[in-house]
Structures are given as structure tokens and as C-alpha cells.
């Protein structure tokens, strides 16, 4: 599985933007970049994904480097509810033989603390 590298922890203030970095220098051409977050006592929650172009949704923005070897998850205005562990994951775009989806391989992620 292609690997990602994230800082262990980051800290932000409420209502300020947060930029969470992820390095994935061994990414292949068929890997999507997925971000999930896990709030305390909950299962992971899908945040956003992209392949080559920058992506925006109601939760966040994803900025992908031109060479795709790194990406940044952007929370435009952090709230206390955004405090969570954020996981950057590479996931192959295709199907495995037998017709199943590629699994998610989680690292330890980045623990985001948001200060009031």
C-alpha cells in the first residue's frame, strides 16, 4: 500500500483557518487522495477526496500539489467541533479482481486541537 506521512498533532484557534498537510511521495497514477476524520468516541467520517484537481465541499477544501506528492486539507474556519484525528489515505481508483473495492489503510493521523 502506498504510504502517507502526516504530523502527529497540530493546534489551531477557533474561527481561524487550518491547513493539515500530508506527504505521499510514492503515490501512483491510480491513487485517489482521501481524507477522513474521527471525532472522540465515533467512527471515522469521510471528509473529502480528490485525484488531481483541487476540490471543495461543505466541510473542507483539498489542495493537491501539481506533482501529486503532497496534499493539504483546509478547514476554512475551525470550530471546536472540528477537533478530531484527521487521516490522509491513498486509495486505488479501480476494482480488485472479483469486484470489490480497495480497502482503506489508515496511519496514525494528525490530532487537531482547536482552542477557544
Partner 1 sequence: DAGVTQSPTHLIKTRGQQVTLRCSPKSGHDTVSWYQQALGQGPQFIFQYYEEEERQRGNFPDRFSGHQFPNYSSELNVNALLLGDSALYLCASSFNTGGNYGYTFGSGTRLTVV
Q: How far is the CB of 15 from partner 1 (least distance, A)?
A: 27
Closest CA to 5 of 102, 70, 91, 82: 70
Torsions phi, psi of 45, nearest 5?
-125, 130
Using the minimum distance from each CB to partner 1, give the nearer residue, 17 or 62. 62
Cβ 25 to partner 1 shortest distance, Å: 19
Coil, helix or strand at residue 37: strand
The residue ranges that bind partner 1 (CB under 8 A) are 30-32, 34, 36, 41-46, 49, 51, 85, 87, 91-96, 98-109
Amino acid at each position: 500500500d502506498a504510504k502517507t506521512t502526516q504530523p502527529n498533532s497540530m493546534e489551531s484557534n477557533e474561527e481561524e483557518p487550518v491547513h493539515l498537510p500530508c506527504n505521499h511521495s510514492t503515490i501512483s497514477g491510480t491513487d485517489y487522495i482521501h481524507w477522513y476524520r474521527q471525532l472522540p468516541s465515533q467512527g471515522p467520517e469521510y471528509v473529502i477526496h480528490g485525484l488531481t484537481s483541487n476540490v471543495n465541499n461543505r466541510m473542507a477544501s483539498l489542495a493537491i500539489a501539481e506533482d501529486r506528492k503532497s496534499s493539504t486539507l483546509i478547514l476554512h474556519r475551525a470550530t471546536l467541533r472540528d477537533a478530531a484525528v484527521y487521516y490522509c489515505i491513498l486509495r486505488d481508483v479501480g476494482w480488485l479482481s472479483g469486484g470489490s473495492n480497495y480497502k482503506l489503510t489508515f496511519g496514525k493521523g494528525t490530532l487537531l486541537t482547536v482552542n477557544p
